[in-house]
Amino acid sequence: MAHKLDIPNWQIKYEIGIPDVDFQHQYFLELIKRFCEKINEGITDELIVDHLNEIVLYAQFHFCSEENLMKLHDYPGFVSHCKLHIDIIQELSDKINLYEIKELSLEELTSYLLEWFLDHTVKKDINFAQYLNKV
């Protein structure tokens, strides 16, 4: 099952300036990269789903960590950002379910993971970082 998705290496442009969050984002990108490598090695559908579940669990941990920081610093966008986290986990879970019932390809799923990572990190989390820099 050869699957070639160009997963970028971690770059400074992905950093938002909050060390703990940047570290978690870097690890998250590494999880996506490892997932794609395992796919290229030809792992079974069952193991693919296991790796996807690991990604979901890590995302939940990361979101909890981010939300704790937001609460600690009285981030005014806290409620909307939490809703975004809930929506992301739901959408990811839905896409995994679609993959399991063969209504979504592995290519579509992995592309979604990468797009979600880049969009959420660079476009959404940066708002919190900018707020923290002003406080």
- Angle at the Cα of 106 from the Cα atoms of 9 and 37, rounded to 5 degrees: 40
* Superfamily classification of domain 18-134: Hemerythrin-like (1.20.120.50)
Over residues 113-125, the pLDDT tens digits come to: 989 888 888 788 9
Domain spans, the chain: 18-134
pTM (predicted TM-score) = 0.89
List Cα–Cα distances, 78 to 19, 39, 69, 81, in angstroms. Answer: 19, 36, 10, 5
Over residues 31-73, the pLDDT tens digits come to: 999 999 988 888 998 999 999 999 999 999 999 999 999 999 9
- C-alpha 63/C-alpha 83 separation (Å) is 11
